[in-house]
Amino acid sequence: MGHTRSHFWFVSPAVILMFVILILPVFVAGTFSFTDYNLGSTDFKWIGWKNYESLGKFSSYSKMFTASLTYVVIVVPVSVLLGLGSAMLISSLRFGGEFYKAIFFLPVMATLLAMAYAWEFALDPVMGVINKVLDDGCSVGWFYKFFTGSWLGFNPTESWYGGLCSDRMPNWLGNKKYALGSISFIGIWQAFGFNMVLYLAGLTSIPQDLYAAAEIDGANSTWEKFKLVTWPMLGPTHVFVVTITSIRSFQVFDTVEALTRGGPSKSTYVMVYAMFEKGVKQNLIGMGSTLTIVFLGFVLLLTLTQVYFINRKVHYS
C-alpha cells in the first residue's frame, strides 16, 4: 500500500455502482421531498418542510398511518405465530411433512396480484363462496350454534354472526369496517408460509441433545421443553422473522391496488399505495418523495432494532 493508488481502482466499480444505484436515488428522493415538483412541469419551487407538514395536517395522511400500522400490527404477530405453530407441527410429523410444506408455501410462490383476484371472487358480497357458505350456514343448526356462540350460552341473535343472519352478509372489501381486516387476512395467508420455512430451518438447527437434557432435568411436558429450549433457541430466527415480516407488511401494495384502491373512505390507504397514488397516478413527485422518505425512515428503524437485538440479546456464542 502507500506507493500506488491501485486499491482505489479495485474498489471503485463497487463504490460507484453502490452510489449510483443505491444512494443516489434516496438522495434524489430526499431532495424532491422539499419541492413541489410535478412530473411534466419544467420547473419547481423549494417549499421547505411544507410536504412534511401536510402529513400531519390532512386527514388522509393520518388515515394512511393508521391503515399501515394497523395492517402491520395485525399481520406480523398472527403470521409469525402461525408460522411457528405450523413449523412445529410439521417438524413433529413422521411422514407427510413435505406435503404440508409445499401446500403452505404455495401462497408465497404465487403472484400476489393474481391471488388477489382469486380472493376478490371469493370475497364477493353476492356471488362469493365465503358469503354463500355463511349465508347457507344460518340454516344449519350446528354451524349456526358454533358461530353465534350459543353453545357457550350466549344469546344467538345478539352475536355478530346472528346479526348477519338476520340482516345480510358483509361486503368484505366494500365496507370500511371489514376492508382492512380482509386485506390483512390475505396478507397473513400469504406471509405465514414464508415464516414457516424460516422457522423450520431454525428448528432443525436446535441440537437434539438439548431436548434430552431438558427431559433429564425434569421438563416432563412439551410446554416446559418449549419454554426451556425451543423458544429461546429460536431467538435469532424470531428477530429475523419479525423484522422481515414487518418490512414486508409495510410494503403491502398488490392486494390494496387490486381489491380496494385504498378505499372505502381511505380505510385501506396504506403507505406504499399512497406513494403510488401521489407519485405515479397524480404525478406529484414532491409529495411522493416525501412519503418515500418517511417510509424509508420506518424501515430503517425496524432494521436498526433488528441489528440491536441480534447484537445484544439473541447472540449466544
Partner 1 sequence: MAEIQLKGISKSFDDNKVIKSLDLSVAKGEFITVVGPSGCGKSTLLRIIAGLESQSSGDVIIDGREVNKVRASERDLAMVFQSYALYPHLSVQQNLMVPLKLRRLSRLERFPLLNWFLPKRRSKMIGLKEKVLQAAEILQITHLMERKPGQLSGGQQQRVAVGRAMVREPVAFLMDEPLSNLDAALRVHMRAEISELHRKLKTTFIYVTHDQAEALTMSDRMAVMMDGEILQHDTPSEIYNNPVNLQVAEFIGSPKINVLPAESDSKGGITCMGLPISLSMKTPKQGSIMLGFRPEHTELLSSNSNNCFEGKITYKENLGSDIYLHVNLKEDQHKMIVRSEPDKALDAKIGDMVKIGWMVDKVMAFERNGQSLPTKSKS
String of contacts with partner 1 for each residue 90-109, x by CB under 8 A: --------------------
Q: Does 232 bind partner 1 (CB under 8 A)?
A: yes
Q: Looking at 53, 102, 215, 281, which residue binds partner 1 (CB under 8 A)?
A: 215
* Residue 270 zone, left/alpha/beta (φ > 0; ψ -120 to 50; rest): beta
DSSP secondary structure code for residue 157 in this structure: G
Quick one: how far is CA 39 from the chain centroid? 31
Q: Looking at 23, 102, 212, 307, which residue binds partner 1 (CB under 8 A)?
A: 212
Cell numbers linked to 92: 413433529
Considering only the stretches 42-50, 178-186, 206-214, 260-268, report the one whose residues sit in contact with partner 1 under the rule CB under 8 A.
206-214
E-strand ranges in 18-158 read none
Write the CB contacts of 243 (distance below 8 Å, at least 6 apart in sequence): 302, 303, 305, 306
Write the CB contacts of 59 (distance below 8 Å, at least 6 apart in sequence): none
HSE of 213 in the Cβ direction (CA atoms, 13 Å)?
8
Q: Does 209 bind partner 1 (CB under 8 A)?
A: yes
SS3 46: strand
CA-closest candidate to residue 190, choices 256, 93, 276, 99: 256
Length of the chain: 317
Q: Which residue has the cell 430451518?
A: 201
In sequence order, the β-bridge partners of residue 35 are 46
Q: Does 205 bind partner 1 (CB under 8 A)?
A: no
Size of the site for partner 1 (CB under 8 A): 21
Q: Looking at 78, 108, 228, 293, which residue binds partner 1 (CB under 8 A)?
A: 228
Q: Looking at 207, 280, 297, 307, which residue binds partner 1 (CB under 8 A)?
A: 207
Considering only the stretches 132-140, 157-165, 179-187, 202-210, report the one whose residues sit in contact with partner 1 under the rule CB under 8 A.
202-210
Q: Does 219 bind partner 1 (CB under 8 A)?
A: yes
Considering only the stretches 46-54, 128-136, 139-147, 227-235, report the one whose residues sit in contact with partner 1 under the rule CB under 8 A.
227-235
CB nearer partner 1, residue 233 or residue 242: 233
Write the burial class of residue 119 (CB in 10 Å: 0-12 exposed, 13-18 middle, 19+ buried): buried
Q: Does 224 bind partner 1 (CB under 8 A)?
A: yes
Q: Looking at 1, 14, 127, 216, which residue binds partner 1 (CB under 8 A)?
A: 216
String of contacts with partner 1 for each residue 45-84, x by CB under 8 A: ----------------------------------------
CA-closest candidate to residue 172, choices 112, 114, 111, 126: 126
Q: Does 213 bind partner 1 (CB under 8 A)?
A: yes
Nearest approach, Cβ of 308 to partner 1 (angstroms)?
Answer: 17
Instruction: Give contact residues for partner 1 (rule: CB under 8 A).
Output: 207, 209-210, 212-220, 224, 228-229, 232-233, 235, 314, 316-317
